[in-house]
Amino acid sequence: MAGRTSRRMGYEGVVLAAPATAPYQRFSKETAHWWIARALRQSLQSAGLSPRDVDGFSVASFTLFPDTAVGLTQHLGLTPRWLDHIPMGGASGVVALRRAARAVQAGDADIVACVAGDTNHVDSFRRMLSSFSRFAQDASYPYGAGGPNACFALLTDHYMSAYGAIREDFGRICVAQRDNALRNPHAVMKKPLTMDQYLGARMISDPIALFDCVMPVSGAEAFLVMREEDARAAGLPYAHIRGSIERHNAFPENPIQMRGGWAMDIDELYAMADARPDDMDLLQTYDDYPVISMMQFEDLGFCGKGEGPAFVRERDLTIAGDFPHNTSGGQLSAGQAGAAGGFIGMVEAIRQVTGTAGPTQVKGAATAMVSGFGMINYDRGVCSSAAIISGAGT
Amino acid sequence: MTDAILPPPKKDPQKRTRTQTLPSGLRSRAALGLTAAAAEGRFMLQVCGECGALQYPPRDACSTCLSTDLPWRDIDPAGELIAETTVRTSTNTYFRERTPWRVGTVRLDAGPSVMCHVHGDAPRGGRVRIINRLDKSGQGVLYALPPEGTPNMEDDPQLREITADPKFRRVLITDARSESTPALAEAFAKAGASIIFIGEPEGWRPYPHRTALEAIPNVQIVPLDVTDTASVAELAGEIGGKTDILVNNARFVRPGGIMDRGDTVFARDEMEVNYLGLMRLAQSFGPAMRGRGADGDNSAAAWVNILSVYAYSNMPAFGAFSASNAAAYSLSQCLRAEMRPGGVRVMNVYTGPTDDAWHQPLPPPKVAPAALARAIVSGLKDGLEDVFVGDVAKDLIERWRAGAKVLEREMSETDGGGA
């Protein structure tokens, strides 16, 4: 808020570790519970922990119904003293981190397992869309039922006419991410994508075409939040949290979404991390459609408002490029596993700054920014979040 | 410019009739305010009763001051189309069958932005006007039209989904003997109805305007007596599968309440025609119409009841007649619910005293047949559910909404405004 004088407390002594991904599948007969268990188990195993060691549990999922995080404790045999359920979709990774870090810092929990996962049944996407939120049910779903494709088509159409972006600009983001995904063995998309293929793809909801859309899949992602001394004692690679922000329902006065909540808080994020945009070795944006990644380049301070198209023309967004972006392929090429889409960037960034990203590793990556965006409650994404993390050596 | 629709080809009886699928009809209770306004074709939004802020989407508390006093008000429909898309893939079967489908974001001059359906002639990035109409699920939806009329604009396929335009449709008017029938038939002929069936009870008995009816293009006079179940069923067997709009104008009117009638003879006739007549028609024609809601350009589209506005509040001078109309009104709500899955609209046209023999002694204003016919055809073209025709009906519904009990007392003071 304007005029605030007190400085926010840092996250000293709290770290992120044990990133885990349950490899995605297009459709699954299994449940969200099953997917969450897989990612949780993988994360704990990599840290040499058992479920009994977890005393904090944070969950993000759309398809747990009728359960919440509460039902999962009994289902999975956890006895946490700190429990959280984060219904923020694409913003949930950073938000989970923020809350868990404070819990660990305050001593309310020692080890918080943050997990996001969803299943994708043959008809579950349609079912979720029709009752996603009250405003969506009342005021967007009855209009063509195009779901997020149509909502983002409207934002993209407006962005293109306001700032002169052309489809090829968005194509640069998608093509680079596909290039990155080809190095990620878990990515759902396995074939190269050329600009001609991107431009020639069939229209889904003009100007959104096939390769602007994510593929809904089943999958799960997890990481642990714990004290630095515990991570070090266990011999785990870990990442520091340099700073974080979140904002909801920013700029309600804008007639259509032209920016996310990051624009309100980005200066605070850099100040908290004592960093500048140039210090970022890589960026993980929330990328359910390329237009929103472009808005993040702007709102996160990598270029000015409306300069996104020029920015992507000048920069190389691939792993080996001068601006590595969504290095695992992001949701556009690795797949969107429901709420795990809000975790994919965070889990990949933890791997990157701890030097454990394997085939997608950016050389010398020490500092990363992760941003989240979520919940088209009606006509725009309501939740936004971002964090800067660094490897232990920095 | 919209392409004019062509006369639909003759139906191939071997082809399966397409099932009516529907857009999502799920709504919150607050959002039903939009539906209530759409029933009369009004564009209304919530306006905060305390700070005056306009709200959209409909909600339970003001997003400016948290007041829960959010009355619905008529809103200036002018705005600008600031973004648009053409949906080509939809998760909903109704839209999937009807793609490409144009939707957009309109920034209202009055303030908020609304997501809406967009007419094919609305200029990209240009000025539009918003209408609020019922979609096939029977819920209110917003629709952006070009600011001025364009050639054939009523033929836009998305617009035709939310209207019940008589063009190329086949109409059944149920009572040839009614004094309103020639005007109705003429209005439908002028609106482009392809066939106008007119039901004729007691064909052996002459009536003055039969020759006039026969002279109207596309009219076919058919035997129909709404008090005779066999007669209704027989006609439905013949033309029920090609009745796209049914206008029930059969009614039995006599003055009088309870004690100035010595028996129940007229009351029985009133119920036979005004209430059970509707029931018989609905039982015979309803199922076929409900099954043909998505049957191409001449799909079944609407069921029209002509009701006395005194269905809402009894007019003692025509007290028993009012009661039969109250029964018919209640039944029409049931019919509406039963027709909804088929996407067929039930439009009630409420009238005050009509200009005919049984209302002869009453003072003006009275509703002339031509005015009634105009209201029906324009109501169908607009896709309305409730139409109040004439000053008496409009005045009465306003009073009823302000306070039904106060109106009841007022009605007992009037000396026969009539039916």
Reading the block at residue A206, the tokens are 């003009």
pLDDT in the model for residue B228: 98
pLDDT of residue B240 exceeding 90: yes
Other Cβ atoms less than 10 A from the Cβ of B128: the count is 25
Whole-complex ipTM: 0.93
Residues forming a β-bridge with B220: B197
DSSP state of A329: -
CATH assignment of A133-215+240-391?
A: 3.40.47.10
pLDDT of residue B66 exceeding 60: yes
Residues B401, B71: contact at Cβ < 8 Å?
no
pLDDT in the model for residue A5: 59
Other Cβ atoms less than 10 A from the Cβ of A214: the count is 20
Average pLDDT, chain B: 95
User: Which of B99, B115, B131 to mutate against chain A (most A CBs within 10 Å)?
Assistant: B115
pLDDT in the model for residue A223: 98
User: Could you give the CA distance from residue A103 to residue A112 in angstroms, rounded to a whole number?
Assistant: 8
Residues forming a β-bridge with A205: A208, B87
Q: What is the mean pLDDT of each run of 10 residues along chain A (394 residues)?
A: 70 98 94 97 97 97 94 97 96 98 98 97 75 91 92 97 98 98 94 97 97 95 98 97 98 96 97 97 97 98 98 98 97 94 97 97 97 94 97 76
* Domain A14-123+218-233 top-level CATH class: alpha beta
User: Could you give the CA distance from residue B241 to residue B235 in angstroms, rounded to a whole number?
Assistant: 10
Other Cβ atoms less than 10 A from the Cβ of B71: the count is 10
- Find all residues with CB under 8 Å of B158, minimum gap 6, and list them: B98, B101, B102, B117, B118, B119, B120, B143
User: Could you give the CA distance from residue A137 to residue B57 in angstroms, rounded to a whole number?
Assistant: 10
Sign of dihedral through CA atoms B62, B67, B68, B69?
negative
pTM value surpassing 0.90: yes
Q: What is the three-state SS of chain B?
A: CCCCCCCCCCCCCCCCCCCCCCCCCCCCCCCHHHHHHHHCCCCEEEECCCCCCEECCCCCCCCCCCCCCCCEEECCCEEEEEEEEEECCCCCHHHHCCCCEEEEEEEECCCCEEEEEECCCCCCCCEEEEEEEECCCCCEEEEEECCCCCCCHHHCHHHHHHCCCCCCCEEEECCCCCCCHHHHHHHHHHCCCCEEEEEECCCCCCCCCHHHHHCCCCEEEEECCCCCHHHHHHHHHHHHHHCCEEEECCCCCCCCCCCCCCCCHHHHHHHHHHHHHHHHHHHHHHHHHHCCCCCHHHCCCEEEEEEEHHHCCCCHHHHHHHHHHHHHHHHHHHHHHHHHHHCCEEEEEEECCECCHHHCCCCCCCECHHHHHHHHHHHHHHCCCEEEECHHHHHHHHHHHHCHHHHHHHHCCCCCCCC
User: Could you give the CA distance from residue B143 to residue B159 in angstroms, rounded to a whole number?
Assistant: 8
Instruction: Phi first, then psi: give them for residue A184, nearest 5 degrees.
Output: -100, 110
Instruction: Phi first, then psi: give them for residue B354, nearest 5 degrees.
Output: -95, 155
pLDDT in the model for residue B415: 58
Residues forming a β-bridge with B246: B172, B303
**Pick from A182, A201, A220, A163: nearest CA to A340:** A220
Q: Which of A141, A205, A256 comes nearest B86 by C-beta?
A: A205
Of A213-222, A379-388, B7-16, B37-46, least confident by mean pLDDT is B7-16
- pLDDT > 70 fraction of chain B, expressed in percent and rounded: 99
pLDDT in the model for residue B293: 94
Query: Between chains, do A145 and B91 touch, taking CB under 8 Å as contact?
Result: yes
pLDDT in the model for residue B11: 87
Other Cβ atoms less than 10 A from the Cβ of B158: the count is 17
pLDDT in the model for residue B413: 78
pLDDT of residue B109 exceeding 80: yes
Residues of B with Cβ-Cβ distance to A125 under 8 angstroms: 91
Which amino acid would we find at residue B236? Answer: A
CB pairs under 8 A between A and B: 119
User: Could you give the CA distance from residue B272 to residue A371 in angstroms, rounded to a whole number?
Assistant: 70
**Pick from B168, B144, B153: nearest CA to B8:** B168
* Chain A CA closest to residue B104: A154
Contact residues of B toward A, CB < 8 A: 23-24, 26-28, 30-31, 56-58, 63, 82-92, 94-95, 101, 103-105, 107, 113-117, 125, 135, 137, 139, 141
pLDDT in the model for residue B418: 42
pLDDT tens per residue, range B225-236: 999 999 999 999
Residues of B with Cβ-Cβ distance to A129 under 8 angstroms: 91
* Chain A CA closest to residue B25: A142
- The alpha-carbon gap from B133 to the nearest alpha carbon of chain A, in Å, equals 12
Q: What is the mean pLDDT of residues B287-306?
A: 95
Domains A14-123+218-233 and A133-215+240-391 share a fold: yes
Query: Between chains, do A203 and B88 touch, taking CB under 8 Å as contact?
Result: yes
Which CATH superfamily, name and number, covers B170-411?
Answer: NAD(P)-binding Rossmann-like Domain (3.40.50.720)
Domain layout of chain A by residue ranges: 14-123+218-233, 133-215+240-391
Q: Which of B27, B63, B116 comes nearest A143 by C-beta?
A: B116
